[in-house]
Amino acid sequence: MLKAENISYQIDNKTLLNNISIEFNTGETTLIVGANGAGKSTLIKVLSKELNPTAGTITFNKQPIQSFKTSELAKVRAVLSQSNELAFPLLVEEVIMMGRYPHFDNKPAATDIAICKQAMELFDITKFKDRNFLTLSGGEKQRVHFARIVAQIWNNNTTETKLLFLDEPLTFLDIRFQLDFMNIVKEFIKQQNLIIIGVLHDLNLAIKYADKILLLDNGNLLKYGTPKEVLTSENIEKTFKITPHLYQKNKEETYLIF
Amino acid sequence: MKKIYLILVLLTIVAVIISIRYGAVDLSLKEILSALNKWFTDNPDLTLNERILLEIRLPRALLTLIVGSSLAVGGVLMQGLFLNPIVEPGLIGTSSGAAFGAALYFVLGATFSFNTGEWTLPIAACIGAMLSTFLVFMFAESKKQNKSSITSLLLIGIAINALFLSGVGFLAYIARDPQARSITFWNLGTLSGSNWHAVIIVGITSVICILIGLRYAKQLNALMLGTSEAKNLGVNVKALKIKVLIVNVILVAVATSFTGIIGFVGLVVPHLLRILKGSDNRYLIIGSVLMGGLLLSVADILARLLLAPAELPIGIVTTAVGAPVFIYLLRKNEYYF
């Protein structure tokens, strides 16, 4: 369980996050939604320990997250961001093996190699494992990074909780791969004990895949709950200054049209 | 990968044999074997040719290998740290700082007596290199972004190089003749002063530094993804940068302290290795140990044979060959940037 208590983040006298308290449960996907500048990425960075909150505490499995060593935390916490740069040419296989770096010293063990293989199969990229990463298309690169991140926290035999952060992960993907990716993430959360916290821009995808939605407005937590509870016309109007039409396809599926 | 290592080892053996056979006096294989035999059996009864081999050629061949390896590995570490394939010790102030430290020792060493014996020169070079490299690193780091852009790094590098080379110039100007000559030779790079002391000192520091560098290979790989991605993979980026920088400065400064500035090895070797088989830093470091030694041996053979019986400073050879190769590589592999 990941728990944030009264966290704030300020920089240069600007408050980016203001007194946010929230609990994330194992097995749940929480997606953070909000207008540009609402503090979505900052919240991800604070929760993943990339930034330290200026006030408040974050605990992971009842321990303060500050007490985790960077190298230890890396075994159970992975972050997928939208950047997909690489400074030098490497093979796809080598990039994915980087995900296992926190787990071995010098040479990858047989489990590391096996996990990389499984991760590549999961994202259907086994066929270009011997290609130079820099020659891939933007979408292919992002899939390689997905596989790397998944390999990082992949664990075959324990029940320990792991954290997966997704910071606008779908930016470079076309719609088919966006859906594919979210479906794979859904599969993955069933196999492993995961807490998934992500930022998505597409509200309809958020409704479709989130267990919980966290609505941020100017650094404040406006609303937290199931998609149905949070993404009401009223709340959307308040944060995005735009009025959506709700389209009820059937009992389960609701879509927003702008 | 193993194939590449094997080929490099075989070529290196050939280069070493050529390098100890030919020179102002050509030695026969029989003489070489007999000299080595006497060396291992501690037989002091040596002919002139055998003494040339054991006291001049052999230490020179070994020092060439070690220095070549050190410079190439230094290039890999710096490129990994700055995430840029065109960084080498000469560009970021390390070499000019080492030159300044060494010049200071040549000119003032006699005035002050240090009790560090054979280690004085490498230590002086290390201190100079440490100073210049950290100045470059410090000034190149932008306060706002908390990282150094490659442009500011190169420009600050030019400025600091100019500063330290003017210091070297000043020392050469006030120096008396034999000292000034040492400085000039040093700036051009030469292996003609090789002896067993140099082999032992450079050998020990290089082996230690390269082994330490190898330990950081994985973390440097993670850094290729960018600073925050590396952090997410559990790398303490700040500590890594400082440690790798210190290892690199010691590696390059000690090697340079006995041979002077030898340019472009740290640039060309990693480039060639990347073209052969990618950029995994572990492979690059091991490959650089082998290929760096090999290329510098070949350059040394050229330096001794081109104008035989006179000898060219090796820095002239590596730069003359390295600069065009470097330009060619830049033009051919634009996607590196």
The DSSP annotation for B28-64 comes to -HHHHHHHHHHHHTT-----HHHHIIIIIIHHHHHHH
C-alpha gyration radius of chain A: 19
Bridge partners (DSSP) of residue A70 are none
B contact set with A (CB within 8 A): 83-85, 218-219, 221-226, 228-229, 231-236, 274, 278-280, 335-336
Terminal CA-to-CA distance of chain A, rounded, Å? 36
Across chain B, mean pLDDT equals 86
pLDDT in tens, A142-177: 889 999 999 999 887 667 899 999 988 887 788 888
What distances in angstroms separate CA A39 from CA A22, A32, B17, B146, B294, one per listed residue? 15, 10, 66, 21, 55
Measured CA to CA, the distance from residue B301 to residue B321 in angstroms comes to: 13
Kindly state which CATH superfamily the domain A1-76+160-177+189-233 is placed in: P-loop containing nucleotide triphosphate hydrolases (3.40.50.300)
What distances in angstroms separate CA B110 from CA B198, B256, B305, one per listed residue? 20, 21, 35
* CB neighbourhood size of B243 (10 A): 17
Single out the residue of B298, B290, B291, B289 nearest to residue B318, CA to CA: B298
Question: Which of A55-69, A175-189, B168-182, B288-302 comes out lowest in average pLDDT?
Answer: B168-182
| SS3 assignment, position B103 | helix
Fold of the domain spanning B2-336: ABC transporter involved in vitamin B12 uptake, BtuC (1.10.3470)
Question: Which of A88-92, A153-157, B15-19, B281-285 comes out lowest in average pLDDT?
Answer: A153-157
Domain boundaries, chain B: 2-336
Measured CA to CA, the distance from residue B196 to residue B119 in angstroms comes to: 13
pLDDT at B114 over 70: no
Measured CA to CA, the distance from residue B258 to residue B314 in angstroms comes to: 13
Measured CA to CA, the distance from residue A61 to residue A98 in angstroms comes to: 26
Which among A72, A81, A90 is the nearest to B279, CB-wise?
A90
pLDDT in tens, B40-83: 888 778 888 888 888 889 999 999 999 999 999 999 999 998 88
A179 touches chain B (CB under 8 A): no
pLDDT at B337 over 50: no
Measured CA to CA, the distance from residue B330 to residue B336 in angstroms comes to: 8
pLDDT in tens, B127-144: 999 999 989 888 887 665
| Inter-chain touch A50–B231, beta carbons under 8 Å | yes
Q: How confident is the model at residue B112 (pLDDT cuts 50, 70, 90)?
A: low
Measured CA to CA, the distance from residue A233 to residue A243 in angstroms comes to: 7
Bigger pLDDT: B123 vs B141: B123
**Residue type present at position B68:** G
* CB neighbourhood size of B250 (10 A): 23
Give the pLDDT of residue B336: 46
Chain A residues whose beta carbon lies within 8 Å of the beta carbon of residue B223 = 87
| Inter-chain touch A50–B232, beta carbons under 8 Å | yes
Measured CA to CA, the distance from residue B271 to residue B290 in angstroms comes to: 14
Beta pairing class for A29-34 and A194-199: parallel
Domain boundaries, chain A: 1-76+160-177+189-233, 84-158
Question: Which of A115-119, A210-214, B174-178 comes out lowest in average pLDDT?
Answer: B174-178
For range A90-95, the mean pLDDT: 93
Residue in B closest to A133 by C-alpha: B278
Single out the residue of B231, B214, B229, B223 nearest to residue A71, CA to CA: B231
Give the pLDDT of residue A242: 85
Percent of chain B clearing pLDDT 70 (strictly above): 93
pLDDT at B145 over 60: no
Beta pairing class for A55-60 and A2-11: antiparallel
pLDDT in tens, A32-84: 999 888 899 999 999 999 899 999 999 998 899 989 998 899 999 999 987 76
Asked if B212 and B242 touch (Cβ cutoff 8 Å), the reply is no
Measured CA to CA, the distance from residue B106 to residue B183 in angstroms comes to: 7
- Among A11, A46, A81, A88, the strongest candidate for a mutation testing the B interface, having the largest count of B CBs within 10 A, is A88
pLDDT at B116 over 70: no
Beta pairing class for A162-167 and A194-199: parallel
Chain B residues whose beta carbon lies within 8 Å of the beta carbon of residue A91 = 278
**Residues with Cβ within 8 Å of residue B162, at least 6 apart in sequence:** none
Give the pLDDT of residue A211: 93
Q: How far is CA B311 from the centre of its chain?
A: 20
| Inter-chain touch B218–A90, beta carbons under 8 Å | no
A85 touches chain B (CB under 8 A): yes
Which among B85, B234, B278 is the nearest to A91, CB-wise?
B278
Q: How confident is the model at residue B110 (pLDDT cuts 50, 70, 90)?
A: low
A65 touches chain B (CB under 8 A): no
Bigger pLDDT: A83 vs A128: A128
